[in-house]
């Protein structure tokens, strides 16, 4: 059973701090990794994609991937109250052939940024 694990939180950080969200996955052959942000009552929104080991930065967001350790993380610098949301990690296990290969989503980490 392929799994994606996240700490459910809530993770509480003060405004201006760095929020660090972590995700581990079980399928060593996974090829692509995504972070989604979901505000309460809304649908998930894609915020970061990462495909190779290392860091990928986009504005205040940095995604980090370590395939050897099977984890992917999301750092949010200068956290704002508007960043308060649930963050979903998604992994593509990439089964070649067959009808699988769909993204597997973690259950999400709830982030609260306090003013």
Partner 1 sequence: DGGITQSPKYLFRKEGQNVTLSCEQNLNHDAMYWYRQDPGQGLRLIYYSHIVNDFQKGDIAEGYSVSREKKESFPLTVTSAQKNPTAFYLCASSRDRYYEQYFGPGTRLTVT
β-pair partners for 57: 62
- Tokens 């190779």 sit at which residue? 52
Using rule CB under 8 A, residue 59 touches partner 1: no
Using rule CB under 8 A, residue 99 touches partner 1: yes
> Which one of 106, 109, 111, 113 is in contact with partner 1 (CB under 8 A)?
106
- Nearest distance, CB of residue 16 and partner 1, angstroms: 28
Residues that bind partner 1 (CB under 8 A): 31-32, 34, 36, 42-46, 49, 88, 90, 92, 94, 99, 101-103, 105-108
């Amino acid at each position: 059973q392929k799994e994606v694990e996240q700490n459910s939180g809530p993770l509480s950080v003060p405004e201006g701090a760095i929020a660090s969200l972590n995700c581990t996955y079980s399928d060593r052959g996974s090829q692509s990794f995504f972070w989604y942000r979901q505000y309460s009552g809304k649908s998930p929104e894609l915020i970061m994609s990462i495909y190779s080991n290392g860091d990928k930065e986009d504005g205040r967001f940095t995604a980090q991937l370590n395939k050897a350790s099977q984890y992917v993380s999301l750092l949010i610098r200068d956290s704002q109250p508007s960043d308060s949301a649930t963050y979903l990690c998604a992994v593509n296990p990439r089964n070649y052939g067959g009808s699988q290969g769909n993204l597997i989503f973690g259950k999400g980490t709830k982030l609260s940024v306090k003013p």
